Amino acid sequence: MAKKLRVRGHKVVLNRSAGGDFGITFFLVILGVFMFIPMYYAVIQSLKPLDELWMYPPQFYVVKPTFKNFSLMFKTLQTSWIPFSRYIFNTVFISVAGTFGNLACGSLAAYAISKINFPGRKGLSSLVRLSLMFHPTVSAIVNFMTMSTLGWVDTYLAIIIPAWGATLGMFLMQTFMEGNISVAVLEAARLDGSSEFRTFWTIAMPMVKPGWITLIIYSFKDLWNTGASTYIYSEELKTFNYAVGQITSGGVERAGVGTAAAVVMMIVPIAVFVIGQSNVIETMASSGMKD
Amino acid sequence: MSEKTVSAKAPKTPKAKPVARKDMTKAQWIWKEMKRNYIAYIMCAPFFLIFFTFTILPVILSIFYSFTIFNLIEPMKWIFLDNYIRLFLDDDIFLTAVQNTLLFAVIIGPVSYLLSLFVAWFINEIPPKIRSVVTLIFYAPSISGGANMIWGVFFSGDSYGYANSILMRLGIIQSPIQFFQNADYVMPLCIVVALWSSLGTSFLSFIGGLQTIDKAQFEAAAVDGIKNRWQELWYVTLPNMKSQLLFGAILAITSAFGFGAVVDSLAGNPSVDYCAWTIVHHLGDYGGARFEVGYASAIATILFAMMVGSNMLVKKILAKVGQ
């Protein structure tokens, strides 16, 4: 039998076939280009001056890049019925308030479930896991009825409050806490007379920084992308994503402005992810479910 | 004097004799534990109150409403299975929706799942710095909500659309194709766009899972006679990340069956001839537009059952990994 092992850096590693390496690299490059081109295209398109935008045949590069589309976007929306700043404010307000609440409620619940042994924790934790199978559309009708009973229809509350109970970030936080907070440390704190809330705040939370950064990123990204909601009618309460949709559906004369708006729309969540990327990956390492 | 301080420090309810668990009934024990850990319930309360109201309650109520006629104006009327009978026997559009949803789910679910897994596995061997850039390139489409519209521009119906321009220059077509007005193109294009934006949370979860695998296991496996990277994947890598595999599968199934938003942003609602009409659209139509709560709830219940059913199936399949 041919020797399949070789030594690389004092470690025994499996001999990888060169053909396989090449095939995989080739596949990754092709797929990567496919993933990247639309994003690249969006950025290029948003930087094109009007004459290049309507050049035929369309070009994959920009000769004279300009930020005119972006300033035009602000102007277009400034003169529209609702000032542009209002859409931005709505989205930022919803995102920040929703994320903050989700962080507070979610990490408290995640801590209790992962670190306190109380009757019912197993049931609650499997309900959370089960809920990952629920698609928001399934609950939309009943939620609308609940909202109208509570009088939340056409208010910020209709979007902010349900976000406080969003499960994915909380679930990731919970699995991360399970593996990354030592019970011994918590026990020591409890013996010293630290209240459970104090233990949570001063001992547990600093230990799971990647967990809450991940929760923030997930919550923020979902809320930032909130579009036309069924619970909101008033134009002045609608979000930036909704406004972007309105501009882009404006047809040919809005093409440059439309891509500029879409670029702003997509840059923000990507930037937020890049800032926290290593923390997210660390959290994901302990993600998953056993049964 | 000293006696007084001692008595002051003594607990209010002196533990006369330590209570062992076997002295109590199960209910008593649970009650005692609940009282002892009451703080945990306070901590859970805000999250779970909202979670029950907006996530669990709707599912339960939907199942209940699905056996009724209810339109928010007239009193509710119990009709048992009539909604379901009407769905499957009288509603042609619903059957189209089921067909399309299954088609989308069967393609998008497994393909996006395997794509996430293999890309995560392939890039795991790249040096960390480059890997984080590559991760970003693959992950970015799934978080950039507004970016779907770029596909609309790319495939726009006039000759300024890239796709049309390229095809015309190559002489494959003579006049521009109205991609999103033509039933033959809508489905495939929506699938491509959905796959493009499908390397999401499960992808990150796989990357994270792969990093936790102890390198020594690979060395041991190599010594034990694992021949190539595929055997290594099946016998070492995958069994080590089973929990991530399950987590990823659940997310993939939910998003595959809930597919619909991509169609809306590309082909409009409703799409031409209902060619890409999914259960989610049907649900939105009856629930949101017509307020037939009972009927819409029946649709929601069926969608829910499909998601849960396929999850159970996938769990069975995943149990076979590494065997």
Kindly report which listed range (A72-81, A109-118, B150-159) carries the lowest average pLDDT score: A72-81
Average pLDDT over residues B203-218: 88
**Range among A16-25, A229-238, B312-321 with highest mean pLDDT value:** B312-321
Cα B102 to Cα B91: distance, rounded to the nearest angstrom: 17
Closest Cα of chain B to A92: distance in Å? 15
Q: Is there a single domain that holds both residue A104 and residue A208?
A: yes
Share of chain B above pLDDT 90, in %: 25
A131 shares contact with chain B (CB less than 8 Å): yes
CB contact under 8 A, B219 and A196: no
Contacts of B243 (CB under 8 A, 6+ apart): A287, A288, A289, A290, B209
CB-nearest to A244 from B146, B152, B247 is B146
Domain presence at residue A224: yes
* Sequence letter at residue B38: Y
Q: Most confidently modeled of A40-54, B4-18, B129-143?
A: B129-143
Closest B-chain CA to A142: B58
pLDDT at A273 over 90: yes
> For residue B9, is pLDDT > 50?
no
> What integer pLDDT is reported at residue B7 of this predicted model?
42
Contact residues, chain B, for A168 at CB < 8 Å: 201
Same domain assignment for residues A172 and A266 = yes
Residue A1: pLDDT over 70: no
What are the tens digits of pLDDT across the range B236-281?
Answer: 888 888 889 999 999 999 888 888 777 877 777 777 777 888 888 8
Give the pLDDT band of residue A78 (cuts 50, 70, 90). low
Gap between the Cα atoms of B40 and B48, Å rounded: 12
**Hey, are the CB atoms on B201 and A112 less than 8 Å from each other?**
no
Determine the pLDDT at residue A47: 87
Point out the residue among A35, A124, A289 whose CB comes nearest to the CB of B243.
A289
pLDDT at A145 over 90: no
| Res B320: pLDDT | 86
What pLDDT was estimated at residue A2? 42
For residue B299, the model assigns a pLDDT of 92
Which residue of chain B has the CA closest to A41?
Answer: B150
Q: Of A165, A168, A225, which is closest to B201 when you measure between CB atoms? A: A168
d(CA A169, CA A99): 10
Which tops the pLDDT comparison, A252 or A185? A185
Last residue of a domain, one of A66, A83, A108: A66
- Asked if A206 and A126 sit in the same domain, the reply is yes
B127 close to A (CB below 8 A): no
A176 falls within a domain = yes
For residues A58 and A201, state if they share a domain: no
Top pLDDT among A78 and B223 is at B223
Contact between A134 and B55 using a beta-carbon 8 Å cutoff: yes
Residue B3 has pLDDT above 70, yes or no: no
Residues of A in contact with B228 (CB under 8 A): 14, 16-17, 20
Q: How large is the average pLDDT for residues A156-181?
A: 91
Mean pLDDT of A149-159: 89
Size of interface A-B (CB pairs under 8 A): 318
For residue A243, being part of any structural domain is answered with yes
Q: Which residue of B has its CA nearest to A17?
A: B228
* Mean of the per-residue pLDDT values of chain A: 84
Alpha-carbon span A91 to A81, nearest angstrom: 17
Question: Do A96 and A123 lie in a common domain?
Answer: yes
Of A144-153, B40-49, B124-133, B284-293, the range with the lowest mean pLDDT is: B284-293
Q: Is residue A2 part of a domain?
A: no
List, in sequence order, every residue forming a beta bridge with B63; answer none if it has no partner: none
CA distance A265 to chain B (A): 6
Predicted confidence at residue A4, as pLDDT, reads 47
The CA distance from A49 to the nearest CA of chain B, in Å, is 15
- Domain count for chain A: 2
pLDDT band at residue B76, thresholds of 50, 70 and 90? confident
Q: Do A289 and B250 touch (CB under 8 A)?
A: yes
Q: Are residues A107 and A62 in the same domain?
A: no
Q: Is A140's CB within 8 Å of B284's CB?
A: yes
Which CATH topology does B81-318 take? Answer: MetI-like fold (1.10.3720)
Residue A50 has pLDDT above 90, yes or no: no
CATH of the domain at A171: 1.10.3720.10
Whether residue A3 contacts residue A13, with contact meaning beta carbons closer than 8 Å, is answered with no
> CB of A127 within 8 Å of any CB in chain B?
yes
Taking the model in full, what pTM does it have?
0.86
Answer positive or negative: Cα dihedral of A102, A105, A110, A113: negative
Confidence of residue B323 (pLDDT cuts 50, 70, 90): confident
Q: Tokens representing B57? A: 């309650």
Cα–chain center distance at A120: 30
Q: Band the pLDDT of A22: cuts 50, 70, 90.
A: confident
- The domain spans of chain B are 19-65, 81-318
Q: Give chain A positions within 8 Å (CB) of B49.
A: 165
- Please name the member of B55, B166, B219 whose beta carbon is closest to the beta carbon of A139: B55
Residues A52 and A152 in one domain: no
Confidence of residue A232 (pLDDT cuts 50, 70, 90): confident
Q: Which band of pLDDT confidence, cut at 50, 70 and 90, is reported for residue A14? A: low
Q: What is the pLDDT of residue B16?
A: 53
**Where does the pLDDT of residue A99 fall: very low under 50, low under 70, confident under 90, or very high at 90 and above?**
very high
The pLDDT-based confidence of A9 (bands split at 50, 70, 90) is: very low
Contacts of B21 (CB under 8 A, 6+ apart): B29
Q: Does A141 touch chain B (CB under 8 A)?
A: yes
Half-sphere exposure of B54 (CA within 13 A, CB side): 23
Q: Tell me phi and psi for residue A10, to 5 degrees.
A: 60, 20
Q: Is A105 on the interface with B (CB under 8 A)?
A: yes
Report the gap between the CA of B266 and the closest CA in chain A (Å).
11
pLDDT at A174: 92
pLDDT tops 90 at residue A266: no
Cβ count near B104 (within 10 Å): 25
pLDDT at B17: 58
pLDDT digits (tens, 9 = 90+) for B116-127: 999 999 988 888
Over residues A120-137, mean pLDDT:
88
CA distance A183 to chain B (A): 16
Cβ separation A248–B152 shorter than 8 A: yes
For position B284, what pLDDT does the model report? 84
Inspect the interface and report whether the beta carbons of B37 and A132 lie closer than 8 Å: no
3-state secondary structure of A13: strand
Nearest to residue B147, comparing CAs of A265, A95, A243, A251?
A265
What is the residue range of A48's domain? 15-66
Q: Which of residues 62-101 of A touch B (CB under 8 A)?
A: none
Do A41 and A180 sit in the same domain of this protein? Answer: no
Residue A188 shares a structural domain with residue A277: yes
Please say which residue of A66, A97, A125 terminates a domain. A66
Q: Are residues A138 and A53 in the same domain?
A: no
**pLDDT tier at B50 (50, 70, 90 boundaries)?**
very high
Query: Phi and psi dihedrals of A183, rounded to 5?
Result: -65, -30
- More confident of the two residues B289 and A279: A279
Question: Do A58 and A197 belong to one domain?
Answer: no
Q: Are both A57 and A171 inside the same structural domain?
A: no
Assess if residue A9 is contained within a domain. Answer: no
Q: Is A38 close to B53, i.e. CB distance below 8 A?
A: no
Q: Which residue matches tokens 């770029």?
A: B150
Q: Out of B41, B56, B159, name the one closest to residue A127 (CB).
A: B56
